[in-house]
Amino acid sequence: MEILGKDVGIVVVDHGSRRAEANAMLEEVVALFRAHTGYANVEAAHMELAEPTLAQAFDRCVARGAQRVIIHPYFLAPGRHSMKDIPELAAAAAAAHPGVGYMVTAPLGLDVRLAEVMRLRVEAALADSGGRVDSD
């Protein structure tokens, strides 16, 4: 697979958690994204509570040659974190790298492919339960 955007770094940033397994899942998301897209310079970051921080991930992208860094909030809906906090953290990270451009994408949002994932989760739950639904 061709390596895309050799001068582009991508930071996928979630909220961050005190639970190591939750933070590790973002690393798996990033690995999946790398494998599926061909973008090689992709870093995971946590907005708070865990490392790497957005600034650390931004630094790593630049160290590998990124001239532009795209920050993707790994959130479902627009809210304070994706619309205010993450853009502020991105601006602070970029300030340490004059001449390197950056932008923040929209969060995941509405997409028919998310509905498909939801359908698959519902079907898996039904299969695991033998079709039985618990009640009070």
**Catalytic site positions:** 15
Token pair 């973008």 is at which residue? 39
What single string gives the DSSP state of each residue in the chain? -PPB-TTEEEEEEE---S-HHHHHHHHHHHHHHHHHH-B--EEEEESSSSSSBHHHHHHHHHHTT-SEEEEEE--SS--HIIIIIHHHHHHHHHHTSTT-EEEE---S-S-HHHHHHHHHHHHHHHHHTTT-----
d(CA 40, CA 13): 16
